[in-house]
Structures are given as structure tokens and as C-alpha cells.
Structure 1
Amino acid sequence: MNTLFKTIFFAGAMLIATLSTNTYANEAAKPWQLTTQSGETISLGQYKNKPVIVHFWATWCPYCKKIQPTLDALQKKYQAQGVVLIAISFNEDEGTLPQDEIQRRGYDFITAVNGETVAKLYKVAGTPTTFFINRQHEVIFKTSSSNPDDPRFDLALQEITKR
């Protein structure tokens, strides 16, 4: 085996090991229901049999702003496999309009508001925190990374889109 192949193989094996040793791996995603800024009800249950990225964030969070372009690009890349990106805004200042901020940033993914109860349910300690949930609604990967080049994101998407 040449050195480049060995390096790529080893890196891939390490990423798979990282995902599989994740403390949340294969844990059932807890059901939740929130509203959007416009008052529409949204729940995890309405995305039955779909891979879902659940991204906890806040408009004031600079790290969220850094990772959102990557999450948006991944959602678009895997859109044909049914991937849905749902942002859950929490710990916002009074009067903040998270969906307006997402649109101002050039994205169109759905944002639920007042997500403090769901953040607590998912044991989210801070922003950003992102969960990758497969079609069976099992959490495959959880991360607080804001590194847009983190290779685990793409690997997690490959895992959650498996049939």
C-alpha cells in the first residue's frame, strides 16, 4: 500500500471510530415540538424516515455564524437523500427574530424559536451544538465544533443518509 492510501484509510478509520464512540451514538432522539418565528408548529416527528440535522444556535453566537455555511452546504449536498436542516434558537435576547437573521445571512433553513426546553432535553451546554439524526431517529453524532473544515460533518451525513 502506498503512503497516501494508508493515510487516507487511517484517517477514515479514525473518523468512523470517532462517530461510533460518540456518547450519543444510536441513542433515540427525544421527540420535541416548538414553533417557528411565524407561529407554525414544528416537531421532530413530522420528519419521520428522514435524516435530520438539528442545530442549536443563537443569533449572538459568533461560532454559530462560522459553522452555518457548512451546515447549509451539507444540507444542500445531501438534499436528494432527504436531509433536513432544522435550527433551534435559544437563549436569545427579548425581541430577537432568529428566522430574519438566518435569511439575512443568506440561508433558508427552518428555525424554531424559544428552544430552551428542547436544549435542556438534549443536554445542550452551549452554542453551537449540532445533532445528526438518522432515518430511524437515532442520534448518530453530536458536536459542538464550529470548524467549517471538520471532516466528521460529511462522514456524519453519510451515516445518517444510509437506508
Structure 2
Amino acid sequence: MKSIKTFFATAFVALSMLGAAPAANAFAAVPPASSAVAGKSAPVFSLKMLDGKELKSSQLAGRPYIVNFFASWCPPCREELPGMVALQKKYEKQGFTFVGIAFRDRPATLPDFLWEMGVEYPVGLTTSELEAAFGKFMPDGKIRAIPTTFVIGRDGKILNVISGGLTKEDFESLILKAIGSRPSK
């Protein structure tokens, strides 16, 4: 009986992650947090990228950017990436960049995955500090669902926070909003 319960619990969690069953796990979708955090200063952060270099939020001052928490094992994250890669190429000359934060991913296989997907923007592995810094802008204080996207304007203020998968068109709209924001004086 215990093995049957374990089987069904495991199947339910797997189906929930794929969107085929109501989500009731650690990665369950949460409502967008944008109305509660729009206009607040983006978190100060430091991200050790996969190439060993460090990206600090101060290096992004005056630039519009999107921080995207994702994982290679996450189907909606995989669906988003081709659009993100195309939009990075389209808008990088206007100072825009994506910043990818791999959420509880496998460090050994992540570089190959990113290469296969054509990702050329900065990517690093999550840390408890990064999760806390960005998680404080989520309704329950934690990043529980991926993908989760934070849109930051030129002024360093959060323009939007979205939990859940986005289309290329959604991202482009958010990028244009970020590019159109005014830098702080």
C-alpha cells in the first residue's frame, strides 16, 4: 500500500510540473507580483557566471535587463529560450540584456544545454543569496515557480515580475517597456 501511495504521489508531482495536473508542489505557479513591486529598486546582486567571471548588478546600471530564473529540466523554460535568444540578438545594441539564473540545475550539463540552445547572454547558477534577494519580491517571499522573470528598467527599478512561461511576443513587449524607461538622474 505504501508503494502505491508513493507511486501516485510521484506521478502527481511529475504531472503537476508538466502542467497536466493541478500544481501542488514546490514549483507551483504563483500569481504575478508586478503590482506589488513595480517601482521598487531591483536587488543588488552578484552572479558567478558559468565562465567563472562575476556579473554585478552595478555593471548593469543604466541598462534595461531581464533576470530570468530557469532550469534546463523545466519544459516551460525550454519553450521560452529560443525567443529569448532571438530577442537578445535583436536588442543588445540598444543596451538590453537577459541575465539567466539557473535554478537548482545540474552544473555538469548546463553548459552543453546552453550551447545547444544558443544562449549568449550571462548565465550563472542560483545561490541562496540570489534566491533571497529576488524572492523578497514574490508574494510569499520565495521563488517557488520557474520560470520567473524580473524586468528591470534603465533606472534600476522593477517594472514587472512574472511567474510562469512567456512567449517571444510577451518578452518583446517587456523588453520594449524596459528600453523605453528613463535612466535615473
* TM bin (shorter chain): 0.7 to 0.9
Root-mean-square deviation (Å): 2.1
Count of matched residue positions in the alignment of Structure 1 and Structure 2: 142
- Structure 1 35/28 Cα, relative in aligned 2: closer, same or farther at 3 Å? same
Distance 1:33 1:147, change over 3 A: closer
Deviations 1:66-103 (A, max 9, x none): 1111222222222222101110112124x434233211
* Structure 2 gap segments, 5+ residues each: 1-31, 136-142
Residues 9-37 of structure 1 show CA distances to partners (whole Å, capped at 9, x for unaligned) of: xxxxxxxxxx9x63221111010002112
Q: Equivalent residue of 1:65, what SS? A: helix
Higher strand share: 1
Kindly provide the amino acid, as one letter, of the partner of residue 174 in structure 2. Answer: A
Query: Which residue matches 1:54?
Result: 67
Q: Which residue of 2 aligns with 1:139?
A: 158
Aligned mates of 1:159, 1:147 — CA distance in 2: 15
One-letter code of the match for 1:24?
V
Q: Secondary structure at the match of 1:50?
A: coil
Q: CA deviation at 1:43?
A: 1.5
Q: How does 1:85-96 map to 2 (within 5 A)?
A: 85-93=98-106, 95-96=107-108
Give the SS at the match of 1:27.
Answer: coil
Structure 1 runs of 4+ aligned residues shifted over 3 Å read: none
Aligned to 2:52: 39
Q: Please, which runs of 5 or more residues in structure 1 have no aligned partner?
A: 1-18
CA displacement 1:121-145 (0-9 Å, x = unmatched)? 2112221111110111111011123
Q: Which has the larger radius of gyration?
A: 2
